[in-house]
Amino acid sequence: MRTPIGLVYLFRTILPKLLLPPFLVYVLLNLTNNTSAGATSSGHLSTFSTWLILFLSLLTHPIYLFLSVLYTNVRNKRDAAKRNAVLIPQVELGSFEIVRKIVESFTKGYPGDVYHEWSKTYGNYFGINILGESRMMTFEPDHIKAILATQFDSFVKGPILYDQFGSLLGSGVFNSDGEMWKFHRTMTRPFFSKERVSDYDIFDRHAEVIIRAMKKRVGAGYPVEFQDAVSRFTLDSATEFLFGKDVNSLGAGLPYPPPPSSSSPFAPSSPPQTETDFIPSHPSNLFAQSFLEAQELTGFRTRYGIHWRLFSGEFWADEVGKRREVVESGFVEPVLGELMREGKGKKEDQEEEGKEETFLNHLVRCTEDKQIIRDELLNMLVASRDTTASLLTFAVYVLSQRPDIEERLREEIYEALGRSDKRPTYEIIKEMKYLRAFLNETLRLYPPVPFDARSSTTATVIYSKSGPPVYIPEGMKCLYSVFLMHRRKDLWGPDALEFDPERFLDDRLHKYLTPNPYIFLPFNAGPRICLGQQFAYNEASYFLIKFLQSFGEIRFADDIQYLNDASNKNGNGDNGPLMYVKPPEEWALAQEEGRKEMEGTTKGRDKVMFTMHLTMAVRGGLWVRMKSLDKGSDLEEDV
């Protein structure tokens, strides 16, 4: 039986800090008391009473904390003054209130809602303290540029993030620093060459399978849970690209919608008993579910700072580690073990041929350390599966709200490929300017990684054209949000909150983005810029083309989407777990009335709720209805 990780943390880290200083003071005072009592012959010398000694001992830790904070503040103030910089303005709330607001914002609120609220008081950067961990939040482009690029060596992932993400990502490229990061980066880079990421054979195979499955659902009169469908597509594409063998998540079929209310005008309301094309017990579902839960739990850790073991629900066990074991044992280990055995005999032959068939095969040639290989595979799986799934999910969500954009995209597809289901090539996709602009606008308003962080390795100063130099103490966790930065009207113009792909094609591109490229960072920047950026663009472009060649009249199925909403008075969980999937009506009302708290935010405009772990997704999935486009259909003729 394993010792609870929270208990280990409590005894190794918390209790020594809490108990050792008072204990030492208690012993010292007792010794002083005994010495003083023995030094007087009359015994009338005033001595410390037992209760006073105990009282003074218990005061030791609060006094130490007070003096420590005071010393740190004085030191930082002096150091900042020497550098002609200002201190970060601090949110004037207690740690537990800050944690409560952050957790509530991420579970019931709009992305970054609490940070947007604080920015109205403190500006585009501010400091918070979470249970002893000092953090800065910024959505100032010059600050982010310094953190990611111009002062790259002064900011690292750091030990806190490594501790929080280690159970899932290990020492992989997204969770390492220094020489280990350079090793992973060097090892990974060759596999994301233009030739490899523009080979569409893998995309085509898996896109055909998922489109057939969606057509079957649409033909039977059901809506489709698009986020689930596209996650299966990206999972199978990613695992084949990385391992040379996919997990066949598409073999499990697509889930049916829960039965709508009796008043729903849509039919059919539930799948016939004879339907067997969705297999909940399919092995790939366990793989995908474990992988998702591991990411959700990892994201939850970050909200509780350095003491996540005590507050994040993992006191008794490393729940993330358990999920990773399922992912590894169910798929990674069998494939890795087989390749490692083959690699020992084929390594020299492959080197002579200069051939790497898969990413896993490439890793086996680079190192025989199985743990390094496991960590890197999990890191790449997160990147290649979840970021593209997020991009495609929000792209189709937008299309479900904007038929004008759907029509414009289809026009461009027909111009480039005709009205057939002709397969797009890299050269054709490169010339589809509106498609690229549409993807960029989706990435602007719905970035897959809306929040990220680094830690300062040394005291430094970061600069901004819009404000004074800012002093960053050593060891500070620096969070930055592209989600909030991408919505700033002073950076993107008065229509920054509107979804408009044309901004990447017209004069606004040269007015706002060209002179200030760091206002748009969906794939990060600097030495750690995403290696799979072009892979994601290619995969998303290819799938959207095939999807729009096959379906039209995409509409949001709100009657299905909101069935399991936690605020639904009639909800009892019969249709699945209750969660906050429907934006509160007061949000939309506040937007309509133009209330002050809605300034600078799209809160109240979206019809879905968001969830965030390592990447952003639609909470509860994205249910859409659509029309299958057969040759000669009315929709094809109208376009």
pLDDT at 54: 66
pLDDT reported for residue 450: 95
- Ranges 41-50, 70-79, 334-343, 515-524, most confident: 515-524
CB 351, CB 580: distance < 8 Å:
no
**Which residue, 302, 289, 319, 329, is CA-closest to 165?**
302
Any idea which of 212-226, 366-380, 442-456, 485-499 has the lowest mean pLDDT?
Answer: 366-380
Rounded to an integer, what distance in angstroms lies between the CA atom of residue 557 and that of residue 624? Answer: 5
Portion of the chain with pLDDT greater than 70, in percent: 86
- Domains of the chain: which residue ranges? 181-447+530-552
Question: Whose CA is closest to 523, among 515, 512, 531?
Answer: 531
CA dist., res. 355 & res. 348, Å (int): 11
Apex 548 CA angle, 546 and 551, nearest 5: 110
CATH number of 181-447+530-552: 1.10.630.10
What are the tokens at 297? 């739990």
Of 141, 110, 111, 109, residue with least CA distance to 124: 141
pLDDT in tens, 410-423: 999 999 998 877 89
Position 637 confidence tier, pLDDT thresholds 50, 70, 90: very low
Is 366 assigned to a binding site? no
Give buried/exposed letters for 37-56 (b at 16+ CB in 10 A, else e). eeeeeeeeeebbeeeebeee
Instruction: Work out the average pLDDT over 498-516.
Output: 97
Could you tell me which of 545, 544, 540, 553 has the C-alpha nearest to residue 629? 553
53 Cβ contact partners less than 8 Å away, ≥ 6 residues apart = 26, 29, 30, 33
What CA–CA distance (Å, rounded) separates 539 from 557? 26
Where do the DSSP E strands lie in 508-622?
551-556, 610-612, 616-618
Pairing of strands 125-130, 467-472: unpaired
- Dist. CA 405–CA 399, nearest whole Å: 7
- Tens digit of each residue's pLDDT (9 = 90 or more) over 543-564: 999 999 999 999 999 999 888 7
Strand order in the sheet with 224-225: 224-225, 623-628, 551-556
Report whether pLDDT(362) > 50: yes
pLDDT for 346 beyond 70: no
Question: Which of 72-81, 247-256, 431-440 has the weakest average pLDDT?
Answer: 247-256
What's the pLDDT score for residue 65?
75
The tokens for 163 are 């501790």
Q: What is the pLDDT of residues 240-273, one digit of tens each?
A: 888 888 888 888 889 998 765 444 444 444 555 4
- The CA distance from 192 to 198, in Å, is 9
For residue 359, give both structure tokens. 């990413």
* DSSP element (H, E) containing 467: strand 467-472
Q: Which residue has the higher pLDDT, 366 or 573?
A: 366
pLDDT at 87: 96
* Residue 503 confidence class, pLDDT cut points 50, 70, 90: very high
CA 185 to CA 178: how far, in whole Å?
A: 11
- Give pLDDT, residue 176: 93
Is the pLDDT reported for residue 321 higher than 50? yes
| Residue 69 φ/ψ, nearest 5 degrees | -65, -45
Which residue from 548, 486, 544, 547 is spatially nearest to 517, judged by alpha carbons?
Answer: 486
> Residue range 217-246: average pLDDT?
92
Q: Is the pLDDT of residue 386 over 70?
A: yes
pLDDT range class, residue 631, cuts 50, 70, 90 = low
Residue 339 — pLDDT band, cuts 50, 70, 90?
confident
pLDDT tens, position by position, 79-133: 999 999 999 999 999 888 998 999 888 888 898 999 999 999 999 999 998 877 8
Given this model, what pLDDT does residue 300 score? Answer: 84
Which band of pLDDT confidence, cut at 50, 70 and 90, is reported for residue 363? confident
Cα–Cα dist 145/173, whole Å:
20
End-to-end CA distance of the chain: 65
Q: Would you say residue 43 has pLDDT above 70?
A: no
Model pTM score = 0.88
Cα gap 629→626, rounded to integer Å:
9
